Structure 1
């Protein structure tokens, strides 16, 4: 039984922080690693873990400051999270792994590809994340759309300030609501929000300020493993950004319509379609 090989524990990274991880599925199965997004937890991939653990060795973990991992007062930048990912892959000795990053988790993958060896990676999957979230005022409208830039420069600080202010809970809840379609089950949304709020407002603010400032566009032409890119028409990010990434990497883009749960959380709102497409990618 797959459940007989369930395992969880901690990976201690170079600066002493412990990251909580979970593994499920046959120990000899192909490795699939799910990397959560901004203020998301490993638990938000439970519909994928349940599906893929029959054949695959599924690994999930919580970023520092998230979920059940340690919550230090430092290290809340994408490059540090990329180093944490490298520590997880090395400590658990995950080889020929397919890495699946959602939202900020995709940005962690791009930073990891930029900074670390690629010898443990067989394929990459990016779920609904733009290459550069903040508009450069010198860009043409077409460049801004391809980059998926949805914020003006000042908004980088506005969002972080809102999360640090007295109305932080309202600001956070409004942002979290924008991740889903209006049809999402209210109980699902409340559960997701509770998972997110295992992080502190300061952690959320520090990470979002770093995350939205980065431009990863130069990374994509250097990716030389098969890639799959997911996007949703009901997401804040333009689908043109996913199509641009797929073109740069020689991969393919899968776009979910809003009516079929095509939100920022498309893997949660339409797990049947998401899991089917991901499984096809894993087996080809």
Structure 2
């Protein structure tokens, strides 16, 4: 889907591919670890009728520049600020999925919330790794995360195996058709395995609990949580982002699998901030 596609230079030799479609209150979608603008195609189709919709391929993702530096979420947060400046975006609703949430929290760490209308965090803990994995909302036990880093991100075929298992086991609840699974995996493999490993480590070692609290207190915030870890995740969000609204839906890729429910949920949240028009 190339509709509205263009590139924005964030530093010499590094350009980010974005889609910029529609008119109205701006919404910015940020995909997760190794994924691309394509995962939000159902949201673009739905919300471009009422909003200006911007979707970003982060550096080293999708159709953006593959670069050997800046593959960390501090840089991704700075990149987001440069995109917003280049597009002259004001009063933005930021929507991040998975590690895309880290980009948003990092943006808040660097720039605060004054240019943000509302925030939507899709299914990621503000501290993805903890020694207390049975109590905290984490991506998994330390040993499992270490195994994923040391084994599955060593080459592109292992990365393919890792994403395929994650897609079928965590991202989607129904049985994926072969073409659907191939599409999901190919999105991820546009990021080389050695860069995926950098981003994986950067994300896992992040701690944005302070920014999560600040965000929930400063602007309207919604956290959407997958069903498989809902009880633990809800307790974590209620403690660390106490003013965030919370919704539970589907698996990790719920906005794609259950797009009608998700889009309605998101539309209602944004409409509550701007009753005259989402």
Other-structure match for 1:109:
104
Q: Deviations over 1:41-74 (max 9, x none)?
A: 0111000000000010000010111110000111
Matched, 1:120 2:115: yes
CA pair 210-270 structure 1, distance change in 2 beyond 3 A = same
Aligned residues: 264
CA contact (8 A) 2:97 2:121 kept: yes
In 1, the alpha carbon distance for the partners of 2:46 and 2:133 equals: 43
Normalised to the residue count of structure 2, the TM-score between the two structures is 0.88
Q: CA separation of 1:156/1:31 partners in 2, compared to 1, >3 Å: closer, same or farther?
A: same
The question of whether the paired residues in 1 share the 8 Å contact of 2:127 and 2:138 is answered with yes
Are residue 266 (structure 1) and residue 259 (structure 2) matched?
A: no
Who is 2:227 aligned against? 233
Q: Which SS does the other structure have where 1:164 is aligned?
A: coil
Matched, 1:62 2:57: yes
Aligned residue runs from structure 1 range 139-178, under 5 A: 139=132, 141-142=134-135, 144=136, 148-162=137-151, 163-165=153-155, 167-178=158-169
- Whole-angstrom CA distance in 2 between matches of 1:124 and 1:266: 18
Q: 1:239, CA displacement in angstroms?
A: 4.4
Deviation at 1:245, TM superposition (A): 2.2
Gaps of 5+ in 1: 1-5, 257-261
**TM-score normalised by length of structure 1:** 0.86
Q: Following superposition, which runs of at least 4 residues in structure 1 exceed 6 angstroms of deviation?
A: none
Query: In 2 relative to 1, CA 112–84 (structure 1 residues): closer, same or farther, beyond 3 Å?
Result: same
Q: Please show how residues 1-284 of structure 1 align to structure 2 within 5 Å.
A: 7-14=4-11, 16-26=13-23, 29-136=24-131, 139=132, 141-142=134-135, 144=136, 148-162=137-151, 163-165=153-155, 167-178=158-169, 179-223=171-215, 224-234=218-228, 237-246=229-238, 248-256=241-249, 262-284=250-272
